[in-house]
Chain A
């Protein structure tokens, strides 16, 4: 094992271990906090893989925004702050069986397929300069489409969470359209 492999193995153990704690802990707030540890370890793994920009975006968006949103959701649904025993549903053992089967299949495929493959780690391969050039030269159209998607999800979240927006009743809707028709005529 070389140096990067040792570091990546340690970070991977931290990421998978805290992910297991996320799905098994009895405390809802602790689950969100273990999620921070898992995402942070994964960001360290990206750094080892020379994907610097992705690592910082991971820290900014996942650790900074997504986990805070999840904590807001926990608070707004008035979830129990302390330990609660009913966070798992009844099909826990079936879920564990499915998860173990998924892990066995995926790990077997990965080990059999890429047993002898090694990848070159090159300095600056994923720096902000290279990724910025790639985004704004090659991937401009998906980038712009993504901004439209963000706008749509912003409006959708506002419409879903506002409680004073009601569907217009039938008569009011008809009255609302009549002046336009008269004005057009």
Chain B
């Protein structure tokens, strides 16, 4: 098989994931786009493992490890998203501006319950922001 086919599919999947991370507003959709990018990397790992005819199967074993790490990441990420939802009643990443530099917060001021800035909440928001 020509090496260009899987690598081009992986490149396109990665750029679709980049678009999703940058353009989506809902934190769960951002997590889905991150998964798309991880899958593109996995496809590249498998492809080059087979291309090199690796005796130790480093690429495919690293793909398995990446899948496990992605599962751990999605579990922790969803826990953080649920914590943000419990504190703020919304998970829109562009309205979580508690750590922003500027004092003008047009979108956040329109949001219903105004959360008080606290250390624990700010840490959760920092994790959820792209």
Identify the A interface with B (CB < 8 A).
2, 4-5, 8-9, 12, 15-16, 19-20, 22-23, 28, 31-32, 35, 38-39, 42, 45-46, 48-51, 53-54, 57-58, 61-62, 65-66, 69-70, 72-74, 76-79, 86-92, 94-96, 98-100, 102-103, 106-107, 110-111, 114-115, 117-122, 125-126, 130-131, 134-135, 138-139, 142-143, 146, 149-150, 153-154, 156-157, 160-161, 163
Contacts and interface: CB of A to CB of B under 8 A. Distances in A.
B1 A121 contact: yes
Nearest to B61: A139
Contacts of B17: 19, 23
A23 B73 CA distance: 20
B32 A49 contact: no
Interface string B35-75: 11001001100110111010011101101110111111111
B1 A111 contact: no
Given A35-B32, A87-B24, A107-B8, A77 B85 contact: yes
Interface in B8-45: 8-9, 11-20, 22-26, 28-29, 31-33, 35-36, 39, 42-43
Contacts of B64: 53-54, 57, 131, 135
Interface string B76-100: 1011111101100001111000000
Nearest to B89: A78
Interface of B: 1-9, 11-20, 22-26, 28-29, 31-33, 35-36, 39, 42-43, 46-47, 49-51, 53, 56-58, 60-61, 63-65, 67-76, 78-83, 85-86, 91-94
A131 B36 contact: no
Contacts of B24: 23, 87-89
A38 B33 CA distance: 12
B50 A16 contact: no
